Homo-oligomer: A and B are copies of this chain.
Amino acid sequence: MSGTTQDDYTDRYARRVRGMTTSEIRALFAVASRPEVVSLAGGSPYIAALPLDAVGEMLGKLAAEQGTTSLQYGIGQGTVELRERICEVMALSGIHDASPDDVVVTVGGQQALDLIARLFLDPGDVVLAEGPTYVGALGVFQAAQAQVRHVAMDADGLIPAALVEAIAATGGRAKFLYTIPTYQNPAGVTLSEARREEILDICAAHGLLVVEDDPYGMLSFEGDAPLPLRARRRDGVFYVSTFSKTFAPGLRVGWILTPHAVREKLVMASEAMILCPSAFAQGAVTQYLSTMPWREQIKVYREVYRERRDALLSALEDMMPAGTSWTTPAGGLFVWATLPEGLDSKAMMPRAIAARVAYVPGTGFYADGVGTQNMRLNFSFSSPERLREGVRRLSGVMEQELAMRSLFGPELGDRRRRTAGAADVPGPDLA
Interface residues of A (CB under 8 A from B): 1-9, 12-17, 20, 22, 42-45, 47-48, 50, 52-53, 55-65, 67-76, 107-108, 110-111, 114, 118-122, 125, 136, 139-140, 142-143, 175, 204, 207, 209, 234-236, 244, 248-252, 259-262, 264-265, 268-269, 271-281, 284, 425, 427-429, 431
Contact = CB atoms under 8 A, between A and B. Distances in A.
Nearest to A253: B278
A74 B4 contact: no
A250 B120 contact: no
A52 B47 contact: no
B55 A64 contact: yes
B108 A12 contact: no
Contacts of A74: 250, 428-429
Contacts of A53: 64
Given A50-B67, A56-B62, A429-B73, A9 B278 contact: no
Contacts of A277: 252
B110 A275 contact: yes
A72 B278 contact: no
A47 B22 contact: no
Given A5-B260, A56-B60, A207-B1, A20 B275 contact: no
B428 A275 contact: yes
B52 A276 contact: no
A279 B275 CA distance: 19
* Dominant secondary structure of chain A at its interface with chain B: helix
Nearest to A236: B1
B261 A8 contact: yes
A122 B14 contact: yes
A136 B55 contact: no
Contacts of A45: 72
A5 B63 CA distance: 38
A114 B120 CA distance: 18
A120 B14 CA distance: 4
Contact of A235 (B2, B110, B143, B271): B2
A122 B64 contact: no
Nearest to A142: B272
A143 B428 contact: no
Nearest to A53: B64
Nearest to A121: B14
Given A57-B64, A60-B59, A250-B73, A22 B52 contact: no
A27 to B, nearest CB: 12
A64 B67 CA distance: 19
Contact of A4 (B7, B260, B276): B260
Contacts of A44: 72-73
Contacts of A269: 17, 20, 143
30 contacts: A1-B235, A4-B259, A5-B260, A7-B261, A7-B262, A9-B209, A9-B262, A13-B120, A14-B119, A17-B118, A20-B269, A43-B73, A52-B71, A55-B71, A56-B59, A56-B60, A56-B61, A56-B67, A60-B63, A71-B250, A73-B244, A75-B427, A76-B428, A107-B278, A110-B271, A110-B272, A139-B271, A252-B276, A273-B273, A278-B278
A179 to B, nearest CB: 17
A17 B271 contact: no
A235 B68 CA distance: 40
A118 B136 contact: no
The 4 closest A-B CB pairs, nearest first, are A60-B60, A56-B64, A71-B248, A71-B250
